[in-house]
Each structure stands twice: as C-alpha cells, then as structure tokens.
Chain A
Amino acid sequence: MGDVEFKSLLKKAKLRLLRMHYESKVGHIGGNLSSLDAILYLHLFAMKNDDLFVLSKGHSAGALYVALWMAGKLDEGDLEKFHRDGTRIAGHPTGGWHPGIRFSTGSLGHGLGLSAGAALARKIKAAPGKVFCLLSDGEWNEGSNWEALIFLAHQKLDNLTLLIDANGLQGFGGTSEVATLEPLAEKFRTFALDVREVDGHDHAALALALAAQATLPKVIIMRTVKGKGVSFMENRMEWHYLPMTEEQYKKAVEEVTAP
C-alpha cells in the first residue's frame, strides 16, 4: 500500500468525517482530524481479525465510525444518524452492539485499563490477537492511566500497543500550559516499555512503528496536529468544541479536496 493510495483513502475518510460532523452540527472535529490517520490505518491495514481496537479518547468517535465505514463494517445509514435521536453512534462510543466498538468510552482514563484487561485475558487464555488502545495526550492528566501503565508494564503485556495522539492541545489550554507532561517518551521508557515517536500523519512511519517486533508493551507517541488538513482549524483549541458553519464546512472541503 503506497503513499498515494493511503492519501486517497484518507481524503475520502476526511471528507466523510467533515460532512458527518457538519450535518449533525457536532464539535470535537479537531481531535478527530489529529487521530484519523492512525485510526484509519489501523482499521484498513494493520489490524487482523482477532485484534481489538479501544478508543480511549472517546471524543474522536467520528474518526472511529468513519474508519469502520471505510472498512465496510458500518453502513451509510448508521453514519447518517450520527449524534441524532435513535442513533447507535453517539458523540462518544457506546459499546456492546458492534464488534469494533466493544467499550463505552468518553470519560477519559478508562480505555487503557480496559485494554490491559483484554490483553491480560488473552495472555491467560493463550488467545490470539493484539489490543490497540488510542489515547489523547491530555488524557495523561488522569491518574488511572498511570495506574494502568504500572500494571501493564508489570504484567509485561506485549500484546498491547498504546497509541498516543499527541496534538498538544487539551480542553482549556495547551498540554504544556495545563500540566507539563513532556518529555513523555522519557517518562514511558522508565516503565520498561518499548517507546517510539513518529509523525502521526506519516503513515509509513506509523506502519514501521506498528510492525516493529517488541518484547515489551509498545507505546507509539504520535506527534499530530489538531484539525490536521484544514488551515483554520489546525492547532486551534476552539475546534475541540465548535460545530462548523456552512461557510466553514465548504472551506474545509475545498482544502481537503485540493490536490
């Protein structure tokens, strides 16, 4: 799968994501655009049938729904009901009805413990399949994540991969302004984890990091851009919240469509 092919798929996914959020008048688009590349790559190319994906940063639900749609696992009718009355795809994932959406997430700091449990059970049962957990960077303010990190490192859950969407922005400020987390990689390395840092919008780098053999639980810190691909959204905190106006939507589509 070459760069051109992935970029074409990503463009299609991004346009569907923008339309879905625009039509439903839903915010959170910034963090969806920072994580879409990774979620899409995982669902189309990296994950196998037995693998499990856990979206700990549940506010990127739109990116997950679109990736499942691109993989042929959600239909158009589901996407059209996004965030509306009678939907199965709410603003944050509600688990249990779809094999690709096992857990209800959205309250930060839950997905990693759940992922560790699933990975542990697979170890106990000698069952196949890896577990991939996508977290935000601001989510590392949550103490429960550090509890989970201690646990998964101690249990040597090498069937678990953490992907961190490090876009540098959180709810009411930059991550460096709210609670200093960096150097994240150094911190994780002290837990005896296999830590890698990549450009989260470089699918080839992501592919290499995912494919690398690891004897320890793997952490991939993905340096990303909030609102990636839409100039007026990039690195802007307000796109954690705002729905798009018609004018903004048209401009976003124009930019994403441009060659």
Chain B
Amino acid sequence: MRDAVCKALVGLCVERKFAFFTGDLGFMALEPLRDAMGGMFINAGVAEQNMVSVAAGVASEGMQAWVYSIAPFVYARPLEQIRNDICSHGFDVKLVGNGGGYAYGSMGATHHAIEDYGLMLPLQGMRVFVPVFTEDVDAVVRKVSHTYGPAYLRLGRGEKPAGFAIPPYAPWRKVLDGGGPALLAVGPLCGGYIGPLLKLEEKSRPQLWALAELPLATSPPPDEFIARVEKGDALFVAEEHVIQGSAGQAVAYHLMNAGVRCRRFAHFHAAGYPSGLYGSQSFHRSESGIGPDSVIRKIADKMRTDG
C-alpha cells in the first residue's frame, strides 16, 4: 500500500499545499513524491519525536502536515508529541504508519505494530484509517486529507484474491455475502479470508464485513450489519491488533450500548509472541489464531457448540 499512498499523495500535492515529513525512510518508494513536492518534502532524519513536533508547528501555521515512518516509529516513539503537540490542539497532522500488525514479519518485534490504533484512539480528536485493499488507498488518502484534524493511517499489504470484485471504499463494507454469522475483519486481514470463505457453501458461510475506520463514534456500524448480527445471534471479530484498545472491544461496547442481542461472540486478535519465536506475518497470524483456516474453524466450532 505504500506505493499506492505515494501515488495518491503525488496526485494530491497538485491540488493542495501540504508538507510531508519522513523519518529517513521511503527509499525506493517515496522518490516520486519527493520529486513532485520539492521543498515541501522534508526528510526530518531519524528523529521521530522532533518530526512530530515540527509537523504540529507547521500545522499551527495553517498548513496540513503528513508524517511518515514505519508504523511503531510514528505512533510509539513520539507518543507524547502526538498527544500534546498534535491532539491537544486538534492540529491537521496526518500520521502514516507503514507495516501495520505483523507486516514486518521476521524483521522482529520492534518493527511490529499490534497496539497502534489502541494507543491512538484515546487521544483527543484522533481518527484512525486502516485501508483494507490497495484499491482503497486513493479514496482513503483523499478522505484523510479533506477531514481536518489528527489522523493515523495504518498501512498493510493488500491481500485481495486476483479477480475478486471489491465494493467501493466505505468505512464499513459487506465484502462477501453468506448465510452464516457475521464476521467482521479489520483492515488487510479481511482480504486473506475471502479465498477460503469462497470455498464454503454460500448459504452457511460467514458473511464477511470489513472495517476500515475508527472510532465508531464517527464511523458507526450500518443498520445492515447490526441486522445481520441480530439475525444470526452471533458476531465474530478478527483483527491484527492486541485485545486492549481493539476494534473488537469497541464493537462489542457499541452493540451492548445499542441493545443489540448477540449471544455468541468471539474475538480473534493478535496474541503478541506466545511461543517467543519470530517469523513471517503469516507465522505470527497463525500463532495468534487469526489466520483464515483457524478463524473459519473456530467460528464453525462456536456455532456448533453454542448453537
């Protein structure tokens, strides 16, 4: 998705003026943006705390600022700068974190981002965007740019099966119909579920939904989704994020507040590093039990045993 963001921003910089900061990352990816933006593209060096403060200062002068790095370097290292310098003032700064979840795989735990939106969402005015498919990126970048205020954009790797027709971008989307229970997946993880679900009978397979925006206060679930949860008396949520601060928690809270009846609920989430071993993104997904086969099996078990 990084290349798609670069392309979207190249288009955007023709339409509006903004500053773009990178924490010395983007080699063989952001060069087109650097060339298009000239002096508005600033390599702030390996100094993420300062980069975020500087971006806030730029925004205080009425200019939108984008900040880019590998995800944990953009939300974890400069957390206080995001809280105090950006969010306490509601400044128009957009944080772009590449490699959401376990996307950096064998690069190691320091490069993973499995608690990112859980840390961002409590901050004043912060909005989170998690594009599901690479095809979403242009619409997301435009929406982020035209929505004034702090935003965090979590990038992953698009996982849409070849030839699969995806619905146009929306914060909530029904990606795949099915007569079974609602399965809500956050971000790119959703794409990996499509292929295995397509192999199941439509009348009984889970109905797959994708969530791309948080918090739910600004992106509430649509009526169709709620109706599906009530009809199936079940909801399953999957995400590449730890349980605390997760979308699963937020959705459960939202539905409870709305009085939605849902007797069967399971949350499939990042479990950290249960074996102490490291590997690819799919290795960590598997260890967390959020890979497609594991999720489909657990949903079937839950529906059978709690049915």
Interface of A toward B, CB cutoff 8 Å: 94-96, 102-105, 107, 109-110, 112-122, 124-125, 127, 143-144, 147-148, 150-151, 154-155
Most chain A beta carbons < 10 A, residue from B60, B81, B84? B60
Interface size on B, residues (CB 8 A): 29
Q: Tell whether, in the assembled complex, residue A151 and residue B47 are in contact, meaning their CB atoms are under 8 Å apart.
A: yes
Q: Tell whether, in the assembled complex, residue B50 and residue A121 are in contact, meaning their CB atoms are under 8 Å apart.
A: no
**Complex CA–CA separation, A144 to B81 (angstroms):** 10
Residues of A within 8 A of B44 (CB): 151
Q: Given that A95-B88, A103-B85, A103-B89 are known contacts, is A114 also in contact with B63, CB under 8 Å in the complex?
A: no
Contacts A114-B56, A148-B54 known; 13 new A-B pairs at CB < 8 A: A95-B88, A103-B85, A104-B84, A113-B49, A113-B53, A114-B53, A117-B54, A117-B56, A117-B60, A120-B19, A143-B49, A147-B47, A150-B50
Flag whether B57 is at the interface (Cβ < 8 A): yes
**Complex CA–CA separation, A118 to B188 (angstroms):** 36
User: Would you give the shortest CB distance from B177 to chain A, in whole angstroms?
Assistant: 47
**Complex CA–CA separation, A122 to B19 (angstroms):** 12
Which 9 A-B pairs have CB atoms at the shortest separation, nearest pair first? A117-B57, A113-B53, A121-B61, A147-B50, A147-B47, A117-B54, A114-B57, A118-B57, A144-B49
Residues of A within 8 A of B49 (CB): 109, 113, 143-144, 147
Considering the complex, give the chain B residue whose CB is closest to the CB of A127: B61
Q: Tell whether, in the assembled complex, residue A125 and residue B81 are in contact, meaning their CB atoms are under 8 Å apart.
A: no
**Complex CA–CA separation, A122 to B54 (angstroms):** 12
Which of A107, A109, A150 meets B47, CB within 8 Å? A150
Q: Given that A118-B61, A147-B50 are known contacts, is A104 also in contact with B45, CB under 8 Å in the complex?
A: no
Residues of B within 8 A of A107 (CB): 80, 84
Instruction: Return the CB mask of B48-75 against A: 1 if under 8 Å, else 0.
Output: 0110111111111111010000000000
Flag whether B39 is at the interface (Cβ < 8 A): yes
> Would you give 30 A-B contacts (Cβ < 8 Å), ordered by A?
A96-B90, A103-B89, A107-B80, A107-B84, A109-B49, A110-B81, A112-B53, A113-B54, A113-B57, A114-B53, A115-B57, A117-B53, A117-B54, A117-B57, A117-B59, A119-B57, A120-B54, A120-B57, A120-B58, A121-B19, A121-B62, A125-B63, A127-B61, A144-B49, A147-B45, A148-B53, A150-B47, A151-B47, A151-B50, A151-B54
Most chain A beta carbons < 10 A, residue from B44, B54, B84? B54
Residues of B within 8 A of A102 (CB): 60
Which of A103, A104, A110, A118 meets B58, CB within 8 Å? A118
Q: Tell whether, in the assembled complex, residue A95 and residue B89 are in contact, meaning their CB atoms are under 8 Å apart.
A: yes
User: Would you give the shortest CB distance from B66 to chain A, in whole angstroms?
Assistant: 13
Q: Given that A143-B49, A144-B53, A150-B47 are known contacts, is A114 also in contact with B60, CB under 8 Å in the complex?
A: yes
Flag whether B40 is at the interface (Cβ < 8 A): yes
Instruction: Return the CB mask of B146-169 against A: 1 if under 8 Å, else 0.
Output: 000000000000000000000000
Main secondary structure, interface of A, reads helix
Most chain B beta carbons < 10 A, residue from A94, A119, A124? A124
User: Would you give the shortest CB distance from B182 to chain A, in whole angstroms?
Assistant: 41
User: Would you give the shortest CB distance from A153 to chain B, in whole angstroms?
Assistant: 11
Q: Tell whether, in the assembled complex, residue B61 and residue A122 are in contact, meaning their CB atoms are under 8 Å apart.
A: yes
Q: Tell whether, in the assembled complex, residue A124 and residue B63 are in contact, meaning their CB atoms are under 8 Å apart.
A: yes
Considering the complex, give the chain B residue whose CB is closest to the CB of A144: B49
Which of A96, A144, A147, A148 meets B89, CB within 8 Å? A96
Give the residues from 77 to 130 in chain B that come closer than 8 angstroms, CB to CB, to chain A: 80-81, 84-85, 88-90
User: Would you give the shortest CB distance from A52 to chain B, in whole angstroms?
Assistant: 9
Considering the complex, give the chain B residue whose CB is closest to the CB of A155: B42
Residues of A within 8 A of B62 (CB): 121
Q: Tell whether, in the assembled complex, residue A150 and residue B89 are in contact, meaning their CB atoms are under 8 Å apart.
A: no
**Complex CA–CA separation, A148 to B39 (angstroms):** 19
Most chain A beta carbons < 10 A, residue from B45, B52, B58? B58
User: Would you give the shortest CB distance from A150 to chain B, in whole angstroms?
Assistant: 7
**Complex CA–CA separation, A139 to B221 (angstroms):** 46
**Complex CA–CA separation, A116 to B49 (angstroms):** 13
**Complex CA–CA separation, A155 to B61 (angstroms):** 17
Q: Tell whether, in the assembled complex, residue B81 and residue A113 are in contact, meaning their CB atoms are under 8 Å apart.
A: yes
User: Would you give the shortest CB distance from B246 to chain A, in whole angstroms?
Assistant: 28
Q: Tell whether, in the assembled complex, residue A117 and residue B81 are in contact, meaning their CB atoms are under 8 Å apart.
A: no
Q: Given that A107-B80, A110-B81, A151-B45 are known contacts, is A116 also in contact with B61, CB under 8 Å in the complex?
A: no
Residues of B within 8 A of A144 (CB): 49-50, 53, 81
User: Would you give the shortest CB distance from B37 to chain A, in whole angstroms?
Assistant: 11
